[in-house]
Amino acid sequence: MVPDMLRRKIYDTLLQWRRNKSKECLLVKGARQVGKTFIIEKYGREQYASYIYINFYKNPEHKAIFEGSLEPGEIYKKISLYVRDVVFVPHDTLIFLDEIQDCSNARTALKFLAIDDLYDVIASGSLLGLHYKEMVSIPVGYERTLEMYSLDFEEFLWAMGKGEEAIGALRGYFQRREKVEPGIHEQFIGLLREYLAVGGMPEAVNTFLRSSNFQEVYATQKKIMESYQEDIKHYASTPMRQKIADCYQSIPRQLAKEYTKFQYKVVSKEGNARRYENCLNWLADAGMIKMCVNVSTPLFPLVAYEKPDQFKVYVTDIGLLTSLYGYETQAALVKDTLKGPAKGGIYENLVFDMLIKRDFSLNYFKNGNSTQEIEFLYTREGGVVPIEVKPKNGATLSLNRFMEEYEPAVAYKLVSGNVGVSGTKVTLPLYMAIFL
């Protein structure tokens, strides 16, 4: 179980939901073991007079609560039959329906519970996208969806003892476009390299806090990966199981290429979209990966120029990605001795991890057969902002050419070096991606 010392931003989001909601339930989705159950349970116990917990995976018999009538009064009556020590306090009770993907009727019932509005209801699930076909009715308009990830880098800094004052001082350097003092810079680059190995899975971070031992962290990550394999066996159809696993295991090889676009032939020699496309969708629905799509033209709105058949695939936790490369690679990343194309791909995934956890919508730009490539694009105030990622401080030929051709209001180069400004190009240390 995750200790209280792991502060999570989503707790404040839950508080805001309760203050602002109007006849709606909350659906929290995300990959397994990112901390959904812990934080919702903590919130329920601390903020409500009564807290009721129902887990459909651990207690499949509780599915009977949602069989037959879905009228709220009947549901509350059945809850009192199946769940021990239940107390209902009007407008001060939280009902938490965990692993809701295992009970499609409960998902349908969210609409009626939201309309009734006598008690607050939060549902959570890890593989919700895989179960839409089983739903009798999706409660559109009566559920707010919130995606939860493993700890982002700022939350990792909190866990490492860096409070608001230290992070606020760092933000000041970012806002002033001022070089960070060398000692401070080295400290945060060091923490970022540790994040590369540890990542943000709460159990891995907890292991690191307890032991300060990267090998124990790696063992924890392997255990998490084994649980993901069990999910594939449990939820995927038999013909797809091995193909799903093969797609996921291919990601380290995909990101080690000079051009990190996902290629089915890297999964297997006979690989093609027809054979593996549904497998990638399965992994995305399970919250284990996200895709970043190429655009033909880097102009606003980016979605109008997407090329759906050209995309990169990133793991949604940087520590789980680096664990796929093995412990020696993790050690080399922390010591900053890793060389070769794999390092560039890992740092791409790092920046993707840092930005996607802040709700960025990201694309990339690869200009035909040329070598020009911009790792990430996002939109801001009707314009397109390019980001180039460099593990070291190399030249930015692609970014310079992009700026000449498209004249963005600002362009970012993320490096291991310090802050610098040249016209509208802003060079930032990689750890400052949390301030974009």
Evaluated on CA atoms 83, 84, 88, 94, the torsion sign reads negative
Q: Which tens digit of pLDDT belongs to each residue from 143-154?
A: 999 999 999 999
Q: Which tens digit of pLDDT belongs to each residue from 271-295?
A: 999 999 899 999 999 999 999 999 9
- Taking the C-alpha atoms of residue 301 and residue 305, their distance in angstroms, rounded to an integer, is 8
Backbone angles phi, psi at 249, to 5 degrees: -70, -20
- For the chain, list the domains and their CATH numbers: 10-147 (3.40.50.300), 153-239+281-435 (no CATH)
- Taking the C-alpha atoms of residue 367 and residue 239, their distance in angstroms, rounded to an integer, is 37
Residue 3 has pLDDT above 50, yes or no: no
- Taking the C-alpha atoms of residue 97 and residue 59, their distance in angstroms, rounded to an integer, is 11
C-alpha separations of 102 from 96, 108, 130, 154, 228 in Å: 14, 12, 11, 33, 16
List the alpha helices (DSSP H) in 160-260. 164-176, 182-198, 202-211, 214-235, 238-255
Contact 299, 310 (CB under 8 A): no
- The rounded mean pLDDT for the chain is 95
The mean pLDDT of 71-99, rounded to a whole number, is 98
Residue 196 has pLDDT above 60, yes or no: yes
Q: Which tens digit of pLDDT belongs to each residue from 291-326?
A: 999 999 999 999 999 999 999 999 999 999 999 999
The mean pLDDT of 259-264, rounded to a whole number, is 96
Higher pLDDT, 5 or 179: 179
Q: Which tens digit of pLDDT belongs to each residue from 30-77?
A: 999 999 999 999 999 999 999 999 999 999 999 999 999 999 999 999
What region, left, alpha or beta, does residue 429 occupy, with left being phi > 0 and alpha being psi -120 to 50 degrees? Answer: beta
Residue 149 exposure: Cα atoms within 13 Å on the Cβ side: 26
Residue 2 has pLDDT above 60, yes or no: no
Adjacent-strand bridge partners of 306: 295
Contacts of 411 (CB under 8 A, 6+ apart): 385, 386, 387, 388, 399, 402, 403, 424, 425, 426
- If we measure between CA atoms, which residue out of 350, 338, 323 comes closest to residue 429? 350
Report the SS3 class of residue 91: coil
Backbone angles phi, psi at 94, to 5 degrees: -110, 125
Give buried/exposed letters for 320-337 (b at 16+ CB in 10 A, else e): bbbbbbebebbbbbbeee
Helix (H) or strand (E) holding 307: strand 306-315
| Residue with tokens 């490539």, as numbered in its chain | 373
- Taking the C-alpha atoms of residue 156 and residue 341, their distance in angstroms, rounded to an integer, is 26
Q: Which tens digit of pLDDT belongs to each residue from 105-159?
A: 999 999 999 999 999 999 999 877 664 445 456 777 899 999 999 999 999 999 9
Q: Which tens digit of pLDDT belongs to each residue from 237-252?
A: 999 999 999 999 999 9
Q: Residues of the chain with pLDDT > 90: what percent?
A: 92
| Residue with tokens 């995305």, as numbered in its chain | 284
Residue 376 has pLDDT above 70, yes or no: yes
Contact 411, 389 (CB under 8 A): no
Q: How many CB atoms lie within 10 A of CB 210?
A: 11
pLDDT at 405: 96
Contact 130, 285 (CB under 8 A): yes
DSSP letter (8 states) at residue 109: H
Report the SS3 class of residue 124: strand
Torsion of CA 210, 213, 217, 219, to 10 degrees: -120
pLDDT at 5: 66
